[in-house]
Amino acid sequence: MGTPTGSSLPGATAEPAAPAELPAPAAAGAESGPARVALVGVHGFGVHHLRNLERLQGAGVVELVAVADPHPPASGSVPSSAAVFPGLDDLLAETQSLDVIIVATPIQTHAPLALAALAADADLYLEKPPVASLADFTRLGEAAAASGRSVQVGFQSLGSHALQAIEDLLAAGIIGSLQGISATGRWVRDKAYYKRSRWAGRRSINGIDVVDGVATNPLAHAVATALRIAGARTTADVASVETELYRANDIESDDTSIIRIRTAAGLPITCALTICATESVEPYVTLQGTLGTAVFHYTEDRLTIETAAGRSEQAYGRDDLTENLLAHRTRGTPLMSALPDSGAFMLVLEAVRTAPAPTLIDAGYVRWEGEGDTAHAIVVNIEDALERAGRQHATFSELGLPWATSAPTALTIPRSR
Ligand SMILES: NC(=O)c1ccc[n+]([C@@H]2O[C@H](COP(=O)([O-])OP(=O)(O)OC[C@H]3O[C@@H](n4cnc5c(N)ncnc54)[C@H](O)[C@@H]3O)[C@@H](O)[C@H]2O)c1
């Protein structure tokens, strides 16, 4: 097992990573000093990056030289070192020699901003999901290869030290041979969540893909973490993807879904996800072994192993992906969430993007709690449905749930890529 730290990360994936030992300033930044960093998108999840960059700037390993956002940051909310621009084009026109650009903007803006960042000869930290279609993923991969720049994708759970512990326990046969993996996500999101941005809950806007579904945005880490544990990184590592998408909210995209994947090695992965739960619990990935199970609560870096010998639980540390990108630049440390390693995830996104519109769950099976913008939908007995789906690798319709009037849709995986 890896090094237990006793520290666990509270709350959702948006929480900052556990503090890691920072590399010495001279080693971590550009050769002559701190890495020159720009942040695109300063509100929403950009705030997490701002705080992290302030921490890294305090340690002398980065200098936040510029930020871009059409909604300017509140006065005093970005370090005085940072020039403020309304967009990346203006920022790039005025800012020389950037080492790293961090993009934390709405999904549909990722592709053009990422391409512009690479064209500026900077390394890129791109929030998840990397882009909104497989075609854009291919284009971005080609641009990254041609530029020779590095791209880190913001699946921060992939920095967890528990992943090495899982590899070790599988190699040691502690839970026997791995039969399948499930990812279970039960969150609560209210109406305000879908009102916060115009792209929230959209499949596309004016013909531009957004793909803001439960598996591709709020609970995307559940999918990405399950794939990583299964050893499925690139598109070649996935044999099939099926989706069954539903919604209880008045949105275009899905909020309650099954994603069933088979890896090229034949391992089934079933992701059973909702943001219409009775109450939010931390999502988890379950490894189903012949001799026991291992359950990884990835937002908390917490691993629970259960076998005939008993039950054990351990919390692990986590590497910060921005620090990992800096270490990659200066020392060649492997990226923990490199762009090509999002290929398997991108097949899931492509399956969601191209699937039929999600089926509306009959109102008779949806309960609403709360008032006004704080009202949230609860799909009745969804907790039991998610558990059974994950255990049996079955979709909601295959379980015979009365509201599950849809059927699984399979993605045709383009194999020329
Ligand atoms: N890694 C995680 O745990 C995590 C958590 C939440 C969100 N995210 C990701 O972060 C990204 C942003 O999500 P959000 O909910 O904060 O979105 P948001 O709609 O709140 O937008 C974030 C910011 O981007 C700005 N923005 C929009 N278009 C821009 C442009 N063209 N150039 C510069 N700035 C622009 C907005 O004004 C806003 O300040 C998404 O990709 C999302 O999936 C990641």
Q: How far is the CA of 47 from the centre of ligand 1 (A)?
A: 9
CA end-to-end span of the chain: 37
Rounded distance from Cα 66 to ligand 1 centre (Å): 17
pLDDT of 14 reads 37
The pLDDT of residue 6? 30
Tokens matching residue 26: 């001279």
> How many other CB atoms are found less than 10 A from the CB of residue 71?
10
- Choose among 233, 203, 219, 242: nearest CA to 413: 242
Distance (Å) from CA 170 to ligand 1 centroid: 36
- Cα–Cα dist 205/355, whole Å: 17
DSSP string, 89-135: HHHHHH----SEEEE-S-GGGHHHHHHHHHHTT-EEEEPSS--SSHH
CB atoms within 10 A of CB 137: 25
**How far does the centroid of ligand 1 lie from the alpha carbon of residue 46, in Å?**
6
What values do phi and psi take at 416, rounded to 5? -75, -15
What is the dihedral sign for C-alpha 266, 267, 271, 272?
positive
Task: Among 105, 124, 346, 349, say which to mutate for ligand 1: greatest number of ligand atoms within 8 Å of CB.
Answer: 105
Helix H or strand E segment including 256:
strand 256-263
Position 416 scores a pLDDT of 66
Q: Please state, in angstroms and rounded to a whole number, the distance separating the CA atoms of residues 286 and 77.
A: 40
Q: For every one of its 417 residues, what pLDDT tens digit does the chain have, with 9 covering 90 and above?
A: 333 333 222 233 333 344 445 555 434 444 569 999 999 999 999 999 999 999 999 999 999 999 999 999 999 999 999 999 999 999 999 999 999 999 999 999 999 999 999 999 999 999 999 999 999 999 999 999 999 999 999 999 999 999 999 999 999 999 999 999 999 999 999 999 999 999 999 999 999 999 999 999 999 999 999 999 999 999 999 999 999 999 999 999 999 999 999 999 999 999 999 999 999 999 999 999 999 999 999 999 999 999 999 999 999 999 999 999 999 999 999 999 999 999 999 999 999 999 999 999 999 999 999 999 999 999 999 999 999 999 999 999 999 999 999 999 999 998 864
Token representation of residue 326: 């800096």
- Residue whose Cα lies nearest atom 39 of ligand 1: it is 43
Q: Which residues line ligand 1 (CB under 6 A)?
A: 13-14, 40-46, 68-71, 87-88, 104-107, 109, 127-128, 154, 156, 197, 217
Q: Which two tokens stand for residue 337?
A: 């969430």
Q: Give 41-45's long-range contacts (Cβ < 8 A, gap of 24+).
A: 41/68, 41/69, 41/103, 41/104, 41/105, 41/106, 41/127, 42/67, 42/68, 42/69, 42/71, 42/73, 42/77, 42/78, 43/69, 43/71, 43/73, 44/104, 44/196, 44/197, 45/14, 45/104, 45/127
Going from the N-terminus, what domains does the chain have, and what CATH number goes with each?
25-156 (3.40.50.720), 161-317+339-410 (3.30.360.10)
pLDDT tens per residue, range 62-107: 999 999 999 999 999 999 999 999 999 999 999 999 999 999 999 9
Q: Which of 9, 15, 39, 45 to mutate to test the pocket of ligand 1 (most atoms within 8 A of CB)?
A: 45
What share of the chain in percent tops pLDDT 90?
91
Atom of ligand 1 nearest to the CA of 217: 43
Taking only the tens place, the pLDDT of each residue in 336-373 is: 999 999 999 999 999 999 999 999 999 999 999 999 99
**What distances in angstroms separate CA 47 from CA 14, 15, 98, 315, one per listed residue?**
10, 11, 20, 26
Q: Cα–Cα distance between 38 and 41 in angstroms, integer?
A: 10
pLDDT at 415: 80
Rounded distance between C-alpha atoms, residue 399 and residue 401, angstroms: 6
